[in-house]
Amino acid sequence: MAHILILNGPNLNMLGVREPEIYGHETLAAIEIMCQTAAQARGWTIDFRQSNHEGELVEWIQQARGTADGLVINAAGYTHTSVAIHDALKLLEVPIIEVHLSDPKKREAFRRVSYVEAVATQVIKGHGAKGYTEALDALARIL
């Protein structure tokens, strides 16, 4: 039975009201239910978390060492800025799936750099909320 950590970065707690034309109408709570359902169907457990704080995300990634079989991460705005999250992800020896609701490469120039991409096993972007369950599908193929 696999245990998967799903991490969400800043402002993703505002999904549903935050620029729905870009991020969709689903709330983060709805996405968590989608992930719980998909994980249960595989007999997996998931730990689904969100933080607006870079250091908290770094600590959760560090704690995933030895406890999680895979990581799904939408680092949100920190994707484009955080060397600290990049360095923490390098500590993991399990598959890492980077997820974005939108496709940042098709948006403003400052979103084109991802510090997560270089350490990710796979990137899923631009598929809205279903990108999260696609990330679990990707982990199932890898694990």
Q: What is the DSSP letter of 127?
A: S
Should residue 100 be labelled a site residue for ligand DHK when binding is judged by CB under 6 A?
yes
Euclidean distance between CA atoms 24 and 17, whole angstroms: 9
Nearer to ligand DHK, 3 or 128 (CB): 128
Looking only at residues 16 through 75 of this chain, which bind ligand DHK when binding is defined by CB under 6 A? 74
Minimal distance in Å, beta carbon 66 to ligand DHK?
28
Does residue 100 have an active-site annotation? yes
Query: What is the sign, positive or negative, of the torsion defined by CA atoms of 67, 73, 77, 82?
Result: positive
| Among 78, 86, 100, 115, the one annotated catalytic | 100
Looking only at residues 4 through 23 of this chain, which bind ligand DHK when binding is defined by CB under 6 A? 11
Should residue 76 be labelled a site residue for ligand DHK when binding is judged by CB under 6 A?
yes
Nearer to ligand DHK, 39 or 102 (CB): 102
Q: What are 72's two structure tokens?
A: 């799904």
Helix 28-41 vs helix 130-142: crossing angle, to nearest 10? 30
Minimal distance in Å, beta carbon 51 to ligand DHK?
13
Minimal distance in Å, beta carbon 78 to ligand DHK?
8
Euclidean distance between CA atoms 104 and 88, whole angstroms: 22
Should residue 102 be labelled a site residue for ligand DHK when binding is judged by CB under 6 A?
yes
> Which of 138, 104, 133, 136 lies closest to 26, judged by CA?
133
Does residue 132 have an active-site annotation? no
Quickly list DSSP for 96-123. EEEEESS-GGGS-GGGS--TTGGG-SEE
Residues that bind ligand DHK (CB under 6 A): 11, 74, 76-77, 79, 100-102, 104, 111
- For the annotated catalytic residues, the residue numbers are 23, 100
